[in-house]
Amino acid sequence: MNCRLLAIPMLVLLCSAGAASADTLLIERAQEKPAVALPVRGDTAAAVEARFGAPQQKLEPRGGQKRQWPVINRWVYPAFTVYFEKNRVIDVVANQAGPDEVGPKPPIR
């Protein structure tokens, strides 16, 4: 087989691989040890506010249309968003660090 025929597809693969590696993935950053301590599942809203201060934004509650769908409150801090069910933390999600980071879309406001 001719070496020139193999060289062109290899060159295309190498060029495309270099472009993809320039993106920072939110997943990679989230797997690293956090630089800041985060709220822990089960913490109260008062404990989160006492430890991290007032959030930048308190988003409108979601859910609650049915008994099985509890109301979820979201507080946005610079590095993360905290999700509360009733008055307790149920999850903490890292925010997108910059426009070049590939990750979830910003919260709906």
Helix (H) or strand (E) holding 18: helix 3-20
Given this model, what pLDDT does residue 94 score?
83
> How far apart (Å, rounded) are the C-alpha atoms in residues 85 and 45?
10
Q: Which of 84, 106, 96, 105 is nearest to 40 (CA)?
A: 84
Domain extents for the chain? Answer: 24-102
d(CA 74, CA 86): 11
Mean pLDDT by 10 residues, the chain (109 residues): 49 49 59 74 97 96 92 94 96 80 62
User: What is the token pair recorded at 64?
Assistant: 């609650």
| DSSP code of residue 44 | B
pTM of the entire predicted model: 0.62
Cα–Cα distance, 33 to 54 (Å, whole number)? 24
